[in-house]
Amino acid sequence: MARAPAPAPSASPPSDEVKSLDDRVRRNPRDAVGFYRRGQLYARYGDFNRAIADLGEAIRLKPDDPEAFNNRCWARTMLGDTSRALQDCDSALKLRPAYGDALDSRGLINLKLCKNAEALADYESAVKYNPRQASSLFGRGVAKLRTGNPTGGNEDIVAAKGITPSIAEEFKGYGVTATGNEVSAR
């Protein structure tokens, strides 16, 4: 899932989009895609409990969907449920071992848990699949800083900020900050 900072608590998804998806799953309660899309919508607006419920229903209906597992992993991470989030990321990766987004999500969990070597391994793999994903580069930079590689860490952070200038603030919202001699993008 593309990461974005959670909107202000007063933000809510556009009612027409919610109504359309509500109608869709009401008409077909076995529509895994409808539940998935509504779960994504709720997650995008910071309603992680509803997102988890809908993504869980999508998984129940289509248990071989790595995207649903990854998005539920991310939503659980945002709520601080790292244990179950890790299970979801691992499930996504069992279904699709070369899934950069799930590696990125698991890297974030490991950073939050200060499992820096594991985070670095996840982000190294994620960057192989998408070398221009700002969240993977920034996360890898933080992991490098935390594991004693300030030069490599700063290079990754600068590259990430060059792609997404607000990436440091985004990670701060996730409860992750760089430690060390972080530099600004030029």
**pTM reported for the whole predicted model:** 0.88
User: From the first residue on, what is the mean pLDDT of each consecutive set of 10 residues in the chain (186 residues)?
Assistant: 46 86 96 97 94 98 98 96 97 97 97 96 97 97 97 97 96 83 36
**pLDDT at residue 1 in the model:** 46
Nearest to 166 by CA among 9, 11, 2, 4: 4
**Helix residue spans in the chain (DSSP H):** 15-27, 32-44, 48-61, 66-78, 82-95, 100-112, 116-129, 134-146, 150-163, 167-173
Q: How far is CA 156 from CA 59, 111, 144, 153, in A?
A: 34, 15, 9, 5
**pLDDT at residue 182 in the model:** 39
Beta-carbon count within 10 A of 60 CB? 12
**pLDDT at residue 14 in the model:** 82
Instruction: Please say whether the beta carbons of 141 and 178 come within 8 A.
Output: yes
Residue type, 77: T
Residue ranges of domains in the chain, CATH in brackets: 15-97 (1.25.40.10), 102-186 (1.25.40.10)
Rounded Cα distance, 74 and 169, in Å: 17
